[in-house]
Amino acid sequence: MGVKETKTKIETASKNKERSAIPPSPNPGKAVPTMKLFLSKIREVLQAVLPIVAIVLLLHATLTPLTALQLERFLLGAFCIIAGLSIFLHGIDFSISMIGKAMGRTFSKTANLILLAGAGLALGFIISIAEPDLHILAGQVERLTAGTVSKWSIILVVSLGIAALLALGLIRIVRNIVLHKLLIGLYAVVFILALSASDEFLAIAFDASGATTGAMTVPFIMSMALGVTLLRKDNIAANTEGFGLIGVVSVGPIIAILLMDLFAAGPVTPPDTPIDTLKTASLLAPFLKKIPIVATEVLLAMLPITLIFLLMQRYSFRLSRRNVSWILYGLLLTYIGLSLFLLGAQAGFMDVGRTIGYRVASLENKQYLLVTGFVLGLVTVLAEPAVHVLTHQIEDITNGAVKRNAVKSVLSLGIGTAVALAMLRILFPQIQLWHYLLPGYLIALTLTFLVPKIFVGIAFDSGGVASGPMTATFILSFVQGAASAMDGNNLVSESFGMIALVAMTPIIAVQVLGLVYKLRAKRSRETDR
């Protein structure tokens, strides 16, 4: 498709942008459509989780047999994840997404940059605290550092980074700052800080970048971006400049964690407990133990966004009672779903992931580790909820100029390659994380000068959303188990870094796709002559 055709389609789509920015109100009088929406979420989640379950069952039957108790705990954890994530995503549609759109509409009525930046700071911090993927990663950091780095220190520091960069990203949209120039500046700061960073915190920093843009933050940030772009006079620019906000926001956690390492962090100590153990003789005991802990953590995470909504409703939004009722209902569903998801992940799902990773890495033939890692990455991204959100928006906003399936295909190959590279790093400890990240991001930033502008924003957004619930839970646990099986490895530094690669490879893959579109357009013009 030529550049002119693509631009025409984008221009056509832009005519309906303002109208589409106003979300349709949930209809409480129609239970059937609501049930259909919920069933669609269940199908979406089943597509995400069942491939992982199938791979585990296959490995159980062939290379890494599990005990009956381990398998039962895994299946119970998978059930909790499926139920929790389905309820969570359904609740998001009626709560976080609608709140984000309401925020965006509020911002579209004012050009006050101070107000915009302040709102970005506050909302970025609040929404990040409630991100389930961040809680998973922070819990893993605390466990693998034997409590040296606490879970909540990671959550708070990362949320501050998200807040600062969300404010900057919103200002960029309004002030028409060129995206690739801003990204080059931000990553220059990252590379400077990385020079003095420890291997452990370098890996954690880049992993945090991928983990924070998940099922909670992506819909909220994209909804806000949609509203803020209405401040732009140029409709076409407004459509294209809406992309890239997630990419900008994703840099915040990296800078925040690297600063934490520079000023506050001390030496980290890996745990003494072997990975390949499940310390329980009861199926339900770990779940029952986790329930009050998870319930309290999720309540603390959800409370700020709920209070902010109630305040904004009183003084700004003035939504109808019906819509307020539905948003509160959605927040309740979000709470229940997030609690179930974290319960299933922490009490059953992740332990088995670590066990399988340990046992596959312990096999004499190390090719099994590379192949398993590649397949896990390949199938997982195909059904990540955040990836679906992004690819649908790409196709809608470009009016079909950029095909959703094409984006998903390159993302799948890119992430499969990323997980395989993480396995290669475990097998060969002399390969350090920066050996991948430095040339990778240099390639990614160089491509920003060569591809159409819209692909720059799409690419960096893709890097931010590619790592979702399944990446942050099972695959991360798998990597940690594999790292623990290798004698002489630095368990902390080798256990992290996978999410960093998962966040990097889509940036390159999507921009290569953009380069292909550009070359096709050039050939088309030459043919027309």
Contact between 348 and 73 under an 8 Å Cβ cutoff? The reply is: yes
Distances from the Cα of 148 to the Cα of 267, 466, 511, angstroms = 8, 29, 39
What is residue 101's predicted lDDT score, i.e. its pLDDT? 74
What distance in Å separates the CA atoms of residue 218 and residue 461, rounded to the nearest whole number? 9
Q: Is the pLDDT of residue 15 over 50?
A: no
Q: Is the pLDDT of residue 256 over 90?
A: yes
Q: What confidence tier does 397 reach under pLDDT thresholds 50, 70, 90? A: low
Contact between 450 and 442 under an 8 Å Cβ cutoff? The reply is: no
Q: What confidence tier does 255 reach under pLDDT thresholds 50, 70, 90? A: very high
Distances from the Cα of 150 to the Cα of 197, 211, 354, 496, angstroms = 18, 17, 21, 16
The 10s digit of each residue's pLDDT in 22-41 is: 334 444 444 445 777 788 88
What is residue 6's predicted lDDT score, i.e. its pLDDT? 44
Q: Which amino acid is at 202?
A: L
What distance in Å separates the CA atoms of residue 509 and residue 349, rounded to the nearest whole number? 30
DSSP-assigned letter for residue 471: I
Q: Find all residues with CB under 8 Å of 346, minimum gap 6, and list them.
A: 136, 139, 290, 294
Q: What confidence tier does 270 reach under pLDDT thresholds 50, 70, 90? A: low
The 10s digit of each residue's pLDDT in 498-517 is: 888 888 888 888 888 888 87
Q: Which of 233-247, 295-309, 352-366 has the lowest mean pLDDT?
A: 233-247
What is residue 336's predicted lDDT score, i.e. its pLDDT? 92
Q: Find all residues with CB under 8 Å of 10, minimum gap 6, and list them.
A: 236, 239, 240, 397, 398, 399, 401, 454
What distance in Å separates the CA atoms of residue 514 and residue 493, rounded to the nearest whole number? 34
- Greater confidence (47 vs 6) lies with 47
Q: What confidence tier does 189 reach under pLDDT thresholds 50, 70, 90? A: very high
Q: Find all residues with CB under 8 Å of 201, minimum gap 6, and list them.
A: 257, 258, 260, 261, 265
What is residue 188's predicted lDDT score, i.e. its pLDDT? 92
- What percent of the chain is modeled with pLDDT above 70? 79
Contact between 324 and 92 under an 8 Å Cβ cutoff? The reply is: no
What is residue 37's predicted lDDT score, i.e. its pLDDT? 78
- Greater confidence (390 vs 160) lies with 160
State in Å, rounded, how far the first CA of the chain is from the last one.
16
Q: What confidence tier does 385 reach under pLDDT thresholds 50, 70, 90? A: low
Structure tokens at 389: 């959100």
What is residue 32's predicted lDDT score, i.e. its pLDDT? 45
Q: Is the pLDDT of residue 117 over 50?
A: yes
Contact between 386 and 215 under an 8 Å Cβ cutoff? The reply is: yes
What distance in Å separates the CA atoms of residue 326 and residue 348, rounded to the nearest whole number? 32
Instruction: Please spell the DSSP secondary structure of 307-352, one letter per residue.
Output: HHHHHHIIIII---HHHHHHHHHHHHHHHHHHHHHHHHIIIIIHHH
- Greater confidence (179 vs 29) lies with 179
What is residue 342's predicted lDDT score, i.e. its pLDDT? 83
What is residue 164's predicted lDDT score, i.e. its pLDDT? 92
Q: Which of 10-14, 113-117, 437-441 has the lowest mean pLDDT?
A: 10-14
- Greater confidence (282 vs 50) lies with 50
The 10s digit of each residue's pLDDT in 284-314 is: 888 888 889 888 878 877 888 888 888 888 8
Would the CA dihedral through 317, 319, 323, 325 be positive or negative? positive
Q: Is the pLDDT of residue 279 over 80?
A: no
Q: Is the pLDDT of residue 328 over 70?
A: yes
Structure tokens at 269: 């100590």
Structure tokens at 61: 């039957």
Q: At what angle do helices 199-211 and 453-465 cross, to 10 degrees?
A: 110
Q: Is 50 exposed, middle or buried (CB count within 10 Å of its CB: 0-12, 13-18, 19+)?
A: middle
- What percent of the chain is modeled with pLDDT above 90? 8
Residue 213 backbone phi and psi in degrees, to 5? -100, 80
Determine the 3-state secondary structure of 353 from DSSP: helix
Q: What average pLDDT does the structure give for the chain?
A: 78
